């Protein structure tokens, strides 16, 4: 009988990196097709982003009933969600339930952080090493590392001298952090900060928020999952899932067909007011052209700015919270619970770091160009090195030993967000060039995984051992991704992490595919139906 070490170094059909939503489903699909597969996971449990992101207030911004797997009807019927927008612990319980229900853990190696992956050209094999010195080999490599998993920690001079504790929301201590009575500084007001700030404010002695970019945010209107609604969902899951897959963004709600400026102003305000009262991401669907027509977008943006003015009592603070440097929803559109209301507390201070930039950390706090703020601890809600960061955290080397980091020095280039030229047999789930972060992620993930699984089945049935996209296909797809983005207002948000603008030195390239999930899926299906056009397929030697 082989030892565990011998099993790990034996050739596997497929290695999967990551045990979140993507990695778990990839493993399930591979097993169903009879492939041998091993998942390597850096954490000591499943969950991916929901394993690491345990910060106060962490919850999903898609509604629970469709932020879930659709591949198994029994799973859909048996799982009971408790809230409209589930908190991190509930989503993690769901993913653990999935892992146990389908017996996935036996093929997952936990506490295995992959440090490098090298393609052996002669053997058509990927060889991986972990930080613990283990070696793994497989014919195919699938990265399920997530789009938002590489923490972006700002380079603040003197941070190493800060006498208090500091934390990044994406690497939160599993034992939690007690803020009771402490002077807390939160740096960042994106989606994560908007979730964390109200919760931290409830416990801290004083909270100071350091804001670079004011953000639009819509009330979540979270609440319990009503039993009657949950029954209705379960009775209609087939229709719900069809609507998700046919949509542009993976959400099961209709976008209005009316342009914003086609209705009288009073009626338009009433539409926005109703959407505001309902809450959530559906606000973006109020009119057809909010992401394609700047004048239309301005009407939504001004409606939200007026809501901020109505909510925040101090007019100076309200003015600082008004987003003006980007159109509504051109950055990731947050939803919140009492975010703007939090600034009415006497124990909360807002600092505009565009007006007064952070100069350095001291032993007792943070100093800006105009003041020093004494702090007991710091929270960095500064997001992630999105889309490319999780892949570049691994030293991936393709044909001829060329590093992915070098290939992407001027920005990522992929074919369909699924493969990179020069990196045979490597598939990236929700990689740059795919809809990924512009969609409901489980829907995008299932589409990717199903396509990859069927592709691998196709290769095996025809005795093919290598698949690699061509430079020409990647070049053409990159041009299409760029064209799709510029048919929208999305590139106008110059500080957006969609463009990599939150990471100093990162190339400014619009990374996700903005042409819509349904159109993307059709294109992928057409590529497969045409014999995987754009890919070079090679038989066994």
| Secondary structure (3-state) at 230 | helix
pLDDT tens sequence across 16-58:
999 999 999 999 999 999 999 999 999 999 999 999 999 999 9
What are the backbone dihedrals phi and psi of residue 127, each rounded to the nearest 5 degrees, phi first?
Answer: -120, 125
Asked if the structure places residue 111 within a domain, the reply is yes
Q: Band of the pLDDT at 481, cuts 50, 70, 90?
A: very high
What's the whole-number mean pLDDT along residues 4-15? Answer: 68
| Secondary structure (3-state) at 207 | strand
Percentage of residues in the chain having pLDDT higher than 90: 96
Asked if the structure places residue 331 within a domain, the reply is no
Residue 512, burial from CB neighbour count under 10 angstroms (0-12, 13-18, 19+): buried
pTM of this prediction?
Answer: 0.96
- For the CA atoms of the chain, what is the radius of gyration? 23
**CA separation for the pair 194, 475 (Å, rounded):** 37
Looking at residue 1, its pLDDT comes to 38
pLDDT tens sequence across 158-189:
999 999 999 999 999 999 999 999 999 999 99
What are the backbone dihedrals phi and psi of residue 5, each rounded to the nearest 5 degrees, phi first?
Answer: -65, -40
* Cβ pair 117, 352 in contact under 8 A: no
Asked if the structure places residue 190 within a domain, the reply is no
Asked if the structure places residue 524 within a domain, the reply is yes
Residue 246: CB atoms within 10 A of its CB come to 13
pLDDT tens sequence across 382-441:
999 999 999 999 999 999 999 999 999 999 999 999 999 999 999 999 999 999 999 999
| Structural domains counted in the chain | 1
Looking at residue 231, its pLDDT comes to 97
Percentage of residues in the chain having pLDDT higher than 70: 98
Residue 2 has pLDDT above 50, yes or no: no
pLDDT tens sequence across 199-234:
999 999 999 999 999 999 999 999 999 999 999 999
Asked if the structure places residue 431 within a domain, the reply is yes
Looking at residue 99, its pLDDT comes to 98
What's the whole-number mean pLDDT along residues 92-100? Answer: 98
Residue 469 belongs to what H/E stretch?
A: strand 464-469
Asked if the structure places residue 359 within a domain, the reply is no
**Average pLDDT across the chain, whole number:** 96
pLDDT tens sequence across 71-89:
999 999 999 999 999 999 9
Asked if the structure places residue 256 within a domain, the reply is no
Q: Which two tokens stand for residue 488?
A: 């929208």
Residue 498: give its domain's CATH number: 3.50.50.60
Asked if the structure places residue 275 within a domain, the reply is no
* Cβ pair 136, 127 in contact under 8 A: yes
**CA separation for the pair 537, 541 (Å, rounded):** 12
Q: Which domain holds residue 107?
A: 4-150+386-539
DSSP secondary structure, 295-311, as one string: HHHHHHHHHHHHHHHHH
Residue 109 belongs to what H/E stretch?
A: strand 108-109
């Amino acid at each position: 009988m082989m030892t565990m070490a011998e099993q790990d170094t034996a050739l596997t059909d497929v290695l999967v990196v990551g045990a979140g939503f993507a990695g778990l489903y990839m493993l399930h699909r591979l097993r169903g097709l009879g492939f041998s597969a091993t998942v390597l996971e850096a954490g000591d449990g499943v969950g991916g982003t929901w394993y690491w992101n345990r910060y106060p207030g962490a919850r999903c911004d898609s509604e629970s009933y469709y932020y879930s797997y659709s591949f198994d009807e029994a799973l859909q019927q048996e799982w009971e969600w408790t809230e409209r927008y589930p908190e991190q612990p509930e989503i993690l319980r769901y993913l653990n339930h999935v892992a146990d229900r389908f017996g996935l853990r036996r093929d997952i190696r936990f506490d295995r952080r992959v440090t490098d992956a090298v393609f052996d050209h002669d053997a058509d094999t990927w060889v991986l090493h972990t930080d613990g010195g283990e070696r793994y080999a497989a014919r195919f490599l699938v990265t399920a590392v997530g789009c938002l998993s590489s923490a972006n920690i700002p380079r603040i001079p003197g941070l190493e001298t800060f006498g208090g504790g500091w934390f990044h929301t994406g690497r939160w201590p599993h034992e939690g952090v007690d803020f009771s009575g402490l002077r807390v500084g939160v740096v960042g007001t994106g989606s994560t900060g908007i979730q964390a700030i109200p919760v931290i404010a409830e416990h801290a002695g004083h909270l100071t928020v350091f804001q670079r970019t004011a953000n639009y945010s819509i009330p979540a209107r979270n609440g319990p999952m009503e039993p009657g609604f949950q029954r209705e969902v379960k009775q209609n899951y087939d229709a719900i899932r069809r609507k998700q897959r046919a949509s542009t963004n993976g959400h099961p709600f209709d976008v209005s067909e009316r342009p914003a400026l086609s209705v009288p102003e009073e009626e338009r305000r009433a539409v926005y007011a109703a959407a505001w009262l309902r809450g959530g991401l559906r606000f973006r669907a109020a009119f057809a052209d909010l992401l394609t027509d700047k004048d239309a977008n301005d009407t939504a943006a001004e409606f939200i700015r007026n809501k901020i003015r109505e909510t925040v009592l101090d007019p100076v603070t309200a003015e600082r919270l008004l987003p003006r440097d980007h159109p509504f929803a051109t950055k990731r559109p947050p939803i919140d619970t009492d975010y703007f209301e939090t600034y009415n507390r006497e124990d909360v201070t807002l600092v505009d770091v565009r007006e007064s930039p952070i100069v350095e950390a001291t032993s007792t706090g943070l100093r800006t160009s105009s003041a020093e703020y004494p702090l007991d601890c710091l929270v960095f809600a500064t997001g992630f090195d999105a889309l490319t960061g999780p892949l570049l955290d691994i030293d991936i080397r393709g044909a001829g030993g060329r590093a992915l980091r070098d290939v992407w020095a001027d920005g990522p280039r992929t074919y369909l967000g699924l493969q990179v030229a020069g990196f045979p047999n490597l598939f990236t789930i929700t990689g740059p060039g795919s809809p990924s972060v512009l969609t409901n992620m489980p829907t995008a993930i299932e589409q990717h995984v199903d396509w990859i699984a069927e592709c691998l089945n196709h290769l095996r049935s025809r005795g093919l051992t290598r698949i690699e996209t061509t430079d020409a296909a990647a070049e053409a797809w990159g041009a299409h991704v760029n064209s799709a983005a510029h048919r929208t207002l999305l590139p106008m948000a110059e500080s957006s992490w969609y463009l990599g603008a939150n990471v100093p030195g990162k190339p400014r390239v619009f990374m996700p595919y903005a042409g819509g999930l349904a159109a993307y899926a059709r294109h992928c299906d057409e590529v497969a139906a045409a014999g995987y056009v754009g890919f070079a397929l090679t038989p066994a030697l």
